[in-house]
C-alpha cells in the first residue's frame, strides 16, 4: 500500500513540475505545445491532391448506401408513380384537432392562393389570369387515397408545381388530412 502511495506522490510531483515548466506566466510568449500536430494540421483544399488518402484525392465519394444527415429518402425503395402512390404511401398521422389546425394553416399558406378558401378552385390568383385549378371537393378527389393526394402535393400535376421543396414532409400529410375534411 505504501508503494502505491509513493508512486502516486512521484507522479503528482512530476505532473506539477511539467505544468509549472510548460505553462508560462509571461503572456507575451507562447506556451509549450504537447502535440503540435493537433494544433497545426495541414488543411487540404477539397479538390487538391492528398497524400493521406488511398486514391490521392481530398474530396471522397460517400460510401454506397449512405444518406446525408437530414435527407432521409421520401419514398420506400422502388419507383413510385401516380398509379401506385395510393397503395405504397400510408399517412403516418391520425387525425386530431392540433394536426388538423396545422394542416389548415399550411393549406392557407401554400394552397389557398390557387384553390381558394374552401377548395373550390377560386383563389385570388385565378382573378389575375392564372387558369383556375379544379375544385378539390369533387368526387374524383374524395375517392383519392391519402397517398395519392400526398404524391400530387409533392410532385405537382398540370399547372400545379411540386411543393416537396417548400412544404415539409409531415406538413404535406397534414394538408392531405385537411383537404379530406373540405365539404
Average pLDDT over residues 17-41: 72
pLDDT in tens, 79-121: 788 888 888 888 888 888 999 999 999 999 999 999 999 999 9
Domain residue ranges in the chain: 1-61, 85-181
* CB-neighbour burial class of residue 133 (10 A; exposed 0-12, middle 13-18, buried 19+): buried
Measured distance CA(81)–CA(31) in Å, rounded = 64
The architecture (CATH level 2) of 85-181 comes to: Orthogonal Bundle (1.10)
128, 122, 123: which is closest to 109 by C-alpha? 123
* Spatial distance between the Cα atoms of 179 and 141, rounded to a whole number of angstroms: 9
Quote the radius of gyration of the chain (alpha carbons, Å).
31
- All 3 cell numbers of residue 69? 444527415
Q: What is the mean pLDDT of residues 52-59?
A: 90
- The DSSP call for residue 111 is I
Amino acid at each position: 500500500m505504501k508503494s502505491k502511495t509513493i508512486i502516486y506522490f512521484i507522479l503528482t510531483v512530476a505532473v506539477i513540475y511539467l505544468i509549472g515548466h510548460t505553462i508560462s506566466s509571461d503572456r507575451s510568449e507562447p506556451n509549450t505545445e504537447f502535440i503540435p500536430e493537433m494544433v497545426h494540421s495541414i488543411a487540404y483544399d477539397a479538390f487538391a491532391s492528398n497524400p493521406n488518402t488511398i486514391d490521392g484525392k481530398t474530396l471522397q465519394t460517400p460510401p454506397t448506401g449512405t444518406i446525408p444527415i437530414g435527407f432521409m429518402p421520401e419514398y420506400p425503395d422502388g419507383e413510385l408513380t401516380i398509379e401506385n402512390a395510393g397503395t405504397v404511401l400510408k399517412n403516418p398521422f391520425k387525425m386530431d384537432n392540433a394536426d388538423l389546425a396545422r394542416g389548415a394553416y399550411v393549406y392557407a399558406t401554400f394552397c389557398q392562393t390557387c384553390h381558394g378558401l374552401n377548395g373550390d378552385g377560386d383563389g385570388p390568383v385565378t382573378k389575375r389570369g392564372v387558369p383556375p385549378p379544379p375544385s378539390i371537393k369533387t368526387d374524383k378527389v374524395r375517392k383519392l387515397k391519402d397517398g395519392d393526394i400526398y404524391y400530387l402535393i409533392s410532385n405537382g400535376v398540370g399547372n400545379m408545381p411540386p411543393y416537396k421543396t417548400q412544404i415539409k414532409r409531415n406538413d404535406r400529410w397534414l394538408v392531405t388530412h385537411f383537404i379530406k375534411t373540405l365539404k
